[in-house]
Structure 1
Amino acid sequence: MEQSRGEDTPLRAADDPLKRNQAKGLEPREKWANKTEFLLSMAGEIIGLGNVWRFPYLCYRNGGGVFFIPYFVFLVFCGIPIFFLETALGQYTSQGGVTAWRKICPMFEGIGVASQVIVIYLNIYYIVVLAWALFYLFSCFQSPLPWTSCSQEWNTVDCHSYNQSMHRPNAGWIFLYNKTDNYSDILISSHSNFSEALQQAVVSPEEEFWLHRVQRVVNEDFLGPPHYDLALCLLLAWTICYFCIWKGVKSTGKVVYFTATFPYLMLLVLFFRGVTLPGAGAGITYYLYPDISKLSKPEVWLEAGTQVLFSYAVCQGVLTALGSYNKYQNNCYKDCVALCALNSATSIFAGFAVFSVLGYMCHELDLPMEDIVRSGPGLAFIAYPKALSLLPGPQFWSVLFFLMILFLGLDSQFVCVESLATALTDLFPGVLRKPKRREILVLVIAVICFLLGLPLITQGGIHLFKLVDRYGPSGTNLLFIACFESIVIAWVYGADRFYDNIKDMIGYPPIAVLKYCWLFVTPFICGINYKRHRRRCWLVVVFAPPKPLSSSASLHLSCPDAAQATLLYDLVSSKPLSSSSTFMPSWAFVVAGLLTAGPMLCIPAFILVSLKRDRRVISPSPELRQLQPHAPRLMLCGVIVFGRQGSLGRPGDDSEVKAHAEDTSRV
């Protein structure tokens, strides 16, 4: 085919997408102004709250330095291959998260749709965390800080400013570490120095500020009206997000110079302040102290895998969207390696900043570390604010801290909105790629997501937040999508053909181990062996009976070899909703089922639609450039597994005959 033989063969006028778009009055697709904008945008997306709060806590809880072993195993064999796959796919096709898969393999367009469903979940609920951060930020300008005393109007008789039950053992945040927090539970413990009344129930002022001032939790099925102050914070967060991306990559590329670098400055300030405090060494020791026995626990490996997927933003279509704005010959391979190294290094470094301050808190309050870090990633709104309040000038340090939280989440948020806007624009270019349409599209997305986010800031909104958090962008959905991505690229489109595409872009083939990761290792790690019992396990998780299943019952559901598959383990080991001791609304089971089913059903649904259309459902678009269009799609050990696909040209195109007589091995 003429368009498949390299850059030296011009496209016919009728086949040139740029000329066709100009004839229709469509704006050309944007590109990054320079590589720095791309790198900062990618860094801003993948480096967020999960790096600063989730990773350090997971290290502490799962064996200290030993946790690095499963983490880097998943990173090398699952995280980096999928990260590079999605970025290279976007750069090669110059399309967003949906149309990129349509061009590669129309039958599996549902992979892109499923990833956009995940992005919609994130756009609705992740920004609520920024609203909380803004609420805390504005409260930092009060003296004294409102969460440091029990004399406020929202405090109860159980409030006490110093007790060992100030940090709950079962608290957590799924958007940070994939577990659900029992927000309404209060750990009741005794202390020999307390009176009999205080032994019965004591709560820290930090926790009461979170429960009774910020959330104002009510355990009822009815959500109630939104809190006006949180609604204003949410509106402010969306306003900032909108003006960061309303002009496309032109504005996004400039904003990330600040939003992606400022959190590093704040993290450095907190690190140097933390390591100079008394007790910092003990806190860092707790962070890294190795416990080899943890490696034998499957949940440690599961948490390492989900941490990699969450922190690297894979299976969300975001990487594909950002990569699509690269120039065709950008070396995305080196970019991805550098970004992965930066991401993991940031996670490890953040642990020193966090645990040095917590060590100081242990030293000042004379409490063991176990009572400090039991709140896990709830450190962001309970434990760490308490630690900063013990420093001289607590308002200053609290402002820096919540600014860091705000900017860590902000660039992740507006890049997710950018991903959705890119996907919609590429799906409907005739409507949306016209002057002023971009600004209107982003405004519509912001308004709709703002309205859908209002139920999350009501009196019962925290219960809905937990459901979206746990069953929306969950590890199960991400693992499911990652499985299909690697299988489709490696086995359907062809790993060798994709290698040729990458070689065409960057000038040389990437390391060969990536090919075998896509073919075998990554699908297996993500849980390819789950298929036999997927539906049965799903019913256990989502529509579980009131009585929680025992561990033996869960194991009975799995096949012998599936225990090694992360996805299957995630399915059978997840606690059913009804087994939680926290309050759960009556509608929680239906919502959880819909949230889980939404992304997973997209892939088989689009497969059926493609088959019904009776078209060549696995043939890539003829507009895609192929370095060697007649080479085998996949070879293993010198043996052709899948030969070249049928002609990619249009009916009546005789260019394929000419291509046989020409050298197609060079561009």
Structure 2
Amino acid sequence: MADKMPALDKFLPDSIPKCTKDNNGPYARGQWASKAEFLLAVAGQIIGLGNVWRFPYLCYKNGGGVFFVPYLLFLVLCGIPLFLLETSLGQFTSLGGVSAWRAVCPLFGGLGYASQVIILHGCVYYIVILAWALLYLSYSFQAELPWAHCNNTWNTEACVLFDRQNQTANGSSLLPENATSPVMEFWEREVLHLSDNLDMGLGPISWKLALCLALVWLVCYFCVWKGVKSTGKVVYLTATFPYVMLFVLLVRGATLPGATQGIIYYLKPNVTRLADPQVWMDAGTQVFFSYGICLGSLTALGSYNKYNNDCYKDSFMLCLLNSATSFLAGFAIFSVLGFMAQEQGEDISTVAQSGPGLAFIVYPRAVAMMPLPQLWAVCFFLMIIMLGLDTQFVSLEALMTSVSDLYPHLIRRGHRRELLLLFVCVVCFLVGLVMVTPGGLYVFQIYDQFSCSGASLLLLSIFQSLAIGWVYGAERFSSNIRDMTGYSPLSVFKLCWKYLTPAVCTATFVFSLVHWSPLSLGKGVVAPGWATALGWILTLSSVSLLPIWALYALLTTPGTLQQRFRILCRPEKNSPLALRHYPTDRPATYSPALALTEKPKEPITNLSQDHMMSCEWGNQ
């Protein structure tokens, strides 16, 4: 009997001791030490560079305030419902992205694998932004900020310090037509060594950026290497400090001359832009990107919660915080854009080149105009690094959680997790080196457009909604949430999971395909055919895993085709999800929300006591 009892271990909660003959078994999965750690970790994941430079950049690109219309539509119909779906799924199953989807709906297990591939793509290119910020930070300790003057070795004769002295009394400009600012030349000529096109290849690696990239990866590794215990502590700093600096920069920007014109441009909509499908595509992408949807990270972070945590209220609070931060960052950006437009005597729509460098052009210019500019530059770029750092290492934590949950007995032993994490970091660093070359910015934009946004996220969101709304059952999932929180979510969420979310995402995806045009990479460069092909390969590398997994599952499941579909559209019998959880303040029973068998259910407390007695008897 003693030999048979350990088979019961896989059905017991992680906190119930398992029958082991030694101490060499896999270590515990872990939980958040407090609710604050969970909230800060999720806030750190979803509130990042997407709020500070991506949202203002997309507003700038898509005609100002008109961007709020599709953004709010996607937020209400897709963002919040999917955010609640993923967070609740992780909390209910106590599993990472891959294992959670395989447990509740085996046929759609490819959703978990696809999200992990997207995380890998994100880890490769997202961290390059932190390398740029770290290089800026290293230059911020000079006696005079190098982007504040034209006396550097990289400056050209066209470099001009823009100010109101460059204008005549009637407002006409005295500047040459090809005049550029020192902040623009620092960004393009010193940081990026940007090439004019991709015809000559990517060019040599910038050793300065490569070193910065290596240092950022090193920090990420040590933030994640001990799992949720180290991650939960680091986010106390990385998730709170950026708000202090954002508020300071907002106040400074609002006091600059011309700030009012910038804010008006930010809020005044250009209605004609709503006819452009790219505006809707960018809005959907921004919601999915900034909320961490379809990346598996929300599921992984939620899986470390206690079973009776109120994930419903948490989701609303975090969504509100995320969108409010984006809105606030837009004021900080556009107030400085208005000042720069007045300073240069140009229209605000032509002040800065659209692209990921917006925060590295506008914000440094604002910092250079403050008293003690070196101090503010150091604080600002530390903010940028912390904003991106917590998003990066939380994504890594989500990836490691998913892999560890798939192979717990293989990875949760000794230092295997740390070694696997090191391998992932080194590989991502080596691939990322192509983005620290003169043509690296163009590769970065291809990754940004295709790998972690656009079609891939829209398709995954469609299938997530179908899996929960129709296959698993929106009513059943709502019951799961009620079982955890004590009350049911609003009925509109069931409506979104079944109809509205997949309908809106499908319409946007089809609309974007019909009106598709080659990607513009800035400086008049249009993505060549091979670059577009590379982009679609990045998209298919994740999305293709959905049909591949479904086909694999159908081929390896016994029975007729109808029986196979019936088996794969039900929760796995070997994963009694409700048995993994029990509240600490009252005797718990199996959850009635996810009945995997028709057997009578007994209290977990009694089951665990019987199991422990059997362990003791078997070890005698």
* TM-score normalised to structure 1 length: 0.79
- Quote the residue 2:84 is aligned against: 84
Distance 1:60 1:221 in 2: 31
Q: Secondary structure at the match of 2:326?
A: helix
Distance 1:356 1:621 in 2: 54
Deviations 1:556-614 (A, max 9, x none): xxxxxxxxx11112223332259995165674244223212111100000000000002
Distance 2:230 2:464 in 1: 30
Report how many residues are paired: 563
Question: Does 2:16 correspond to 1:16?
Answer: no
After TM superposition, give the deviation of residue 645 of structure 1 in Å: 13
Deviations 1:135-171 (A, max 9, x none): 011111123221233332222344333399x9xxxxx
Distance 1:312 1:647 in 2: 31
Matches within 5 A, 1:259-338: 259-338=238-317
Of 602, 613, 618, the residue aligned with 2:569 is: 618
Q: Secondary structure at the match of 2:51?
A: helix
Aligned residue identity for 2:304: Y
Aligned residue identity for 2:188: L
Q: Secondary structure at the match of 2:571?
A: coil
Question: Does 2:124 correspond to 1:124?
Answer: yes
Question: Does 2:205 correspond to 1:226?
Answer: yes
Distance 2:46 2:499 in 1: 25
After TM superposition, give the deviation of residue 430 of structure 1 in Å: 1.2
Question: Does 2:367 correspond to 1:388?
Answer: yes
**Segment of structure 1 superposing worse, 438-447 or 89-98:** 438-447
- Quote the residue 1:209 is aligned against: 186
Distance 1:125 1:518 in 2: 31
Distance 2:520 2:366 in 1: 35
Matches within 5 A, 1:529-568: 565-568=507-510
Deviations 1:500-541 (A, max 9, x none): 2111111111111100100000000110xxxxxxxxxxxxxx
Question: Does 2:323 correspond to 1:344?
Answer: yes
- Quote the residue 1:592 is aligned against: 535
Distance 1:405 1:31 in 2: 28
Unaligned runs of at least 5 residues, structure 2: 1-6, 559-566, 580-591, 603-620
Change (3 A) 1:399 1:648: same
- Quote the residue 2:399 is aligned against: 420
After TM superposition, give the deviation of residue 389 of structure 1 in Å: 2.2
Aligned residue identity for 1:609: Y
Distance 1:60 1:268 in 2: 21
- Quote the residue 2:562 is aligned against: none
In 2, are the aligned partners of 1:475 and 1:570 still within 8 Å (CA)?
no
In 2, are the aligned partners of 1:65 and 1:288 still within 8 Å (CA)?
yes
In 2, are the aligned partners of 1:14 and 1:20 still within 8 Å (CA)?
no
- Quote the residue 2:588 is aligned against: none
* TM-score normalised to structure 2 length: 0.84
In 2, are the aligned partners of 1:221 and 1:585 still within 8 Å (CA)?
no
In 2, are the aligned partners of 1:246 and 1:439 still within 8 Å (CA)?
yes
Distance 1:194 1:278 in 2: 20
Distance 1:296 1:464 in 2: 28
- Quote the residue 2:613 is aligned against: none
Aligned residue identity for 2:47: I
Change (3 A) 1:49 1:396: same
- Quote the residue 1:606 is aligned against: 549
- Quote the residue 1:544 is aligned against: none
RMSD of the TM alignment (CA)? 2.9
In 1, are the aligned partners of 2:41 and 2:394 still within 8 Å (CA)?
yes
Q: Secondary structure at the match of 2:413?
A: coil
After TM superposition, give the deviation of residue 66 of structure 1 in Å: 4.5
Distance 2:342 2:474 in 1: 55
**Segment of structure 1 superposing worse, 243-252 or 272-281:** 272-281
In 1, are the aligned partners of 2:159 and 2:181 still within 8 Å (CA)?
yes
Question: Percent identity, aligned pairs only?
Answer: 52
Aligned residue identity for 2:91: Q
In 2, are the aligned partners of 1:221 and 1:586 still within 8 Å (CA)?
no
- Quote the residue 1:433 is aligned against: 412
Matches within 5 A, 1:454-533: 454-527=433-506
Aligned residue identity for 1:505: M
In 1, are the aligned partners of 2:93 and 2:578 still within 8 Å (CA)?
no
Deviations 1:432-464 (A, max 9, x none): 112323322222221221122112112332232
In 2, are the aligned partners of 1:22 and 1:28 still within 8 Å (CA)?
no
